[in-house]
Amino acid sequence: MLVLDVNETLTDLSPLAARLAEAGLPDHLLPAWFAGVLRDGVALTLAGGEATFAAVARDGLRTLAVCSGTGADPEEAADHVLAGLPLLPLHPDVPDGVRALRTAGHRLVTLTNGSAGTTRAVLDRAGLTDCFEAHLDVEAVGRWKPAREAYAHALDTVGVPPDEAALVSVHPWDIDGAARAGLATVWLRRTRRPYPASQLPAALEATGLTDLAHRLDAERRLLDPGEDGEDAARP
């Protein structure tokens, strides 16, 4: 079973920069805004709080509108940017990569800190929804990834034990969390940024989903424990 992250792993967030500009916000602040959403959502989880991705994202956009000094209306700006989430494109490798993984017999699910409904909207447009067994988010457990409960929720939903699943993500913090929860891990290296030495490494690295399909064909033991019960590819 491959558990695929969504934001930045499957979807390309760069078109949201244009929406920021249209809303009167500095478009170069897109990475800072998204990083802030992840920071605040994870911080809430650590503190025992709970909030949806949309609520945390809206708070960040309202803050940007107030602090940017452009006079943008905070609520209107937030509405405009968030309306772009279901319209995001997939990275170019995703359609062929998903189909290749599915054809090779891999079971696929998505797991996002965002909304499962947004995931479905994006994949519906690409004709990929039926390639996945389920589209999941963390709202059911109220714990953002990389909390152990988020991964456990996904695996419990599809009835797969951790040692028969691998998380696929561009985010090292996601890789680290999944590894600590007992899953195998795949890092999609979409940028030149190095993997943090302070976090558990991925079992496998790929440049995209088509590359991953080829690598998994060669690395069958990622999800196939050996006779001694140990998975040689697990961190």
* The predicted structure's pLDDT at residue 223: 61
Closest to 128 in 3D by CA, of 28, 46, 11, 44: 11
DSSP count for the chain of H helices, then E strands: 9, 6
Q: Report which of 135, 30, 130, 32 is spatially closest to residue 84, judged by C-alpha positions.
A: 30
What's the confidence (pLDDT) of residue 71?
A: 87
The whole-number pLDDT of residue 222 equals: 66
Q: What are residue 168's DSSP bridge partners?
A: 4, 186
Q: Which residues of the chain have pLDDT under 50?
A: 225-235
188-219 pLDDT tens trace: 999 999 999 999 999 999 999 999 999 998 77
pLDDT at 220: 66
Give the pLDDT score at 217. 83
Largest CA distance in the chain: 64
Whether 137 and 3 have beta carbons less than 8 Å apart is answered as no
Task: Please tell me the pTM assigned to this model.
Answer: 0.92
Q: How wide is the angle at C-alpha 214 spanned by C-alphas 212 and 217, nearest 5°?
A: 105
Per-residue b or e along 187-207, where b marks 16 or more CB atoms closer than 10 Å to that residue's CB: bbbeeeeeeeeebbbbbbbbe
